[in-house]
Amino acid sequence: MKSIENFFKLRESGTSFSKELVAGATTFFAMVYIIFVNPAILSKTGIPHDAVFVATILATVIGTLVMALFANVPYALAPGMGLNAFFTYTVCLGLQFSWQEALALVFICGIINVVITVTKVRKSIIKAIPKSLQNAIGGGIGLFIAYIGLKDGGILKFTIDPGHWVESFGTIFGDASAIPEIVKFDTWGPVLAILGLILTIVLLVLKVRGAILWGIVASAVLGIFMGLTTAPDFSGVGGSAYGDMFVNFGNTFGKCFVGFGTLFSQWERLPLVFLAIFAFSLTDTFDTIGTFIGTGRRSGIFTDADLTALETSTGFKTKMDRALVADAVATSVGAVLGTSNTTTYIESGAGIEAGGRTGLTSVFTAILFLLCLVLYPLVAVVPAAATAPALIIVGIMMAGAFKEIDWSDFAEAVPAFLAASIMAFAYSISIGIAFGFIFYVIIRLCQKRGKEIHPILWVSTGLFFLYFVLMSLNELGILG
């Protein structure tokens, strides 16, 4: 126990073994949904569902352990939501890449991110972001997480006018006529989410240790009486279904290298190849940067000294250095295993708010995910409505970053507001950051203060603008 404490520097970080355990479990329950959601999305490309299930767990375990042992920070990694949808609906079903080729694209994305991290390009991007936008990103992630919680809890529904939606590849796309509203609470799911939210708030107000985790557990138990939490079924454990699962995984493992054989074989597809690589890398990079800044600065995990050292230190001396490398490596590892971009999860904020401060939190999260290979029937009984309150609470806590923004200065308020609000409304951290960057540059130019804009901010804004143009051209069929 003493060696563990020394390795992870628990006392120096103001935490303890028990706090890290609770935090690790909290992060696990907040993001465990990915082992069910990711296979459902990626299997539409033709990858065997059970192979993606295994790949998702192994990518999560390996990536999270690298983050824990190499960077010693309480972040968990898993195949990213949004990135898996882009992989499936845009790259495979839209641009007509095979899933093997799409995995090759993800592998390349990871290598690119490793290179720009080693050369300090990725780290310098963080330094280039103005403080107002950094705080807007932190608060915006809070809104994003809370919005995920409201959706997961079934508290919101969306009304779309007739004739204002289209179906593509089995997915319904509505236009701006879609209106969100609160449900009528005529089903048990939203009721459980609200009761869990109230219970968690009460526990936090009473300063009960591990309040967020206890809220999840209590909500899951309460769900038994509502018919939402069912008894786990272990009847298939060790049976042929498990054997088939690992056989399919074996047939999928390493297929990203097969994709390289055809990826660059047709010159007319090269613009689409580079577009996909650019989009993967851009989204992955800014999702990670946004998560680190939004959760790390407020909690003290990443200090101003860490950010300053990014440009002055050599090698991987700071936690931020090592965390960025761990995240980049995890992407390529995930591609080899057979899943879309593995990235740092914003749900790690749940464990951080529960007291997690070191990599030991991530070790516990990784262990719990590894157990899911056998114990997934037990994990599956925790309904989304039981974990939704934790996400809403974390969102409330993270919104405190907004107080650091000078809202009385319109020039500061505009990019900050757009970054935060669009992050939640567009359901994308990177798109929110893009709007913040673009309008920050526009306003500074109008003020004739272009010299204040960091060169990297110029380049990043230009790339974001190019991304929007290329995606528009692709949707119009000009690139396809």
What is this structure's pTM? Answer: 0.75
Amino acid type, 225: F
Pairing of strands 342-344, 77-79: antiparallel
* Kind and range of the H or E run holding 336: helix 319-337
Residue 307 pLDDT greater than 70, yes or no: no
Residue 429 pLDDT greater than 80, yes or no: no
Whether 59 contacts 331, CB under 8 Å: no
* 250-262: average pLDDT: 93
* 55-79: average pLDDT: 96
Residue carrying structure tokens 């609770």: 22
Q: What is the pLDDT of residue 381?
A: 78
Query: 3-state DSSP helix/strand/coil percent for the chain, to nearest 5?
Result: 70, 5, 25
Cβ-Cβ contacts under 8 Å for 438 (sequence gap 6 or more): 461, 464, 465
Q: What is the pLDDT of residues 97-138, one digit of tens each?
A: 999 999 999 999 999 988 887 777 766 777 788 889 988 988
* 212-234: average pLDDT: 86
Q: What is the pLDDT of residue 95?
A: 78
Q: What is the pLDDT of residue 391?
A: 84
In 3D, which of 400, 350, 397 has the Cα closest to residue 152?
350
Amino acid type, 123: K
Q: What is the pLDDT of residue 264?
A: 85
Q: What is the pLDDT of residue 235?
A: 61
Q: What are phi and psi of 265, to 5 degrees?
A: -80, -20
- Mean pLDDT of all residues in the chain? 86
Query: How many angstroms separate the CA atoms of 131 and 261, rounded?
Result: 45
Q: What is the pLDDT of residue 240?
A: 53
Q: What are phi and psi of 79, to 5 degrees?
A: -55, 125
Q: What is the pLDDT of residue 170?
A: 61
- Least reliable range by pLDDT among 289-293, 302-306, 380-384: 302-306
Q: What is the pLDDT of residue 313?
A: 61
Residue 155 pLDDT greater than 70, yes or no: yes
Q: What is the pLDDT of residue 409?
A: 95
Q: What is the pLDDT of residue 479?
A: 58
Residue 214 pLDDT greater than 60, yes or no: yes
Residues linked to residue 78 through DSSP beta bridges, in sequence order:
343
Reported confidence tier of residue 271, pLDDT bands at 50, 70, 90:
confident
Query: How many angstroms separate the CA atoms of 68 and 72, rounded?
Result: 5
Percent of residues, the chain, with pLDDT higher than 90? 41
* 430-452: average pLDDT: 92
Most confident of 119-133, 208-222, 280-294, 429-443: 429-443
Q: What is the pLDDT of residues 323-355, one digit of tens each?
A: 989 999 999 999 999 999 999 998 898 899 889
Residue 315 pLDDT greater than 90, yes or no: no
* 136-141: average pLDDT: 86
Reported confidence tier of residue 321, pLDDT bands at 50, 70, 90:
confident
- DSSP state, 80? P
| Cα four-point dihedral sign 35, 220, 386, 156 | positive
Q: What value does the CA radius of gyration of the chain take, rounded to a whole number of Å?
A: 22
Residues linked to residue 79 through DSSP beta bridges, in sequence order:
342
Give ∠ CA 63-65-70 in degrees, rounded to 5. Answer: 100
Q: What is the pLDDT of residue 217?
A: 85
**No. of H helices and E strands in the chain?**
22, 6
Query: How many angstroms separate the CA atoms of 168 and 88, rounded?
Result: 12
Q: What is the pLDDT of residue 179?
A: 87
Residue 401 pLDDT greater than 90, yes or no: no
Residue 212 pLDDT greater than 60, yes or no: yes
- DSSP state, 379? H
Q: Tokens at residue 221, please?
A: 């138990």
Q: What is the pLDDT of residues 163-205, one digit of tens each?
A: 788 776 566 778 888 888 999 999 999 999 999 999 999 999 9
End-to-end, the C-alpha distance of the chain in Å comes to 58
Q: Give how far Cα 404 sits from Cα of 4, 128, 226, 423, 439, Å.
A: 36, 18, 42, 18, 19
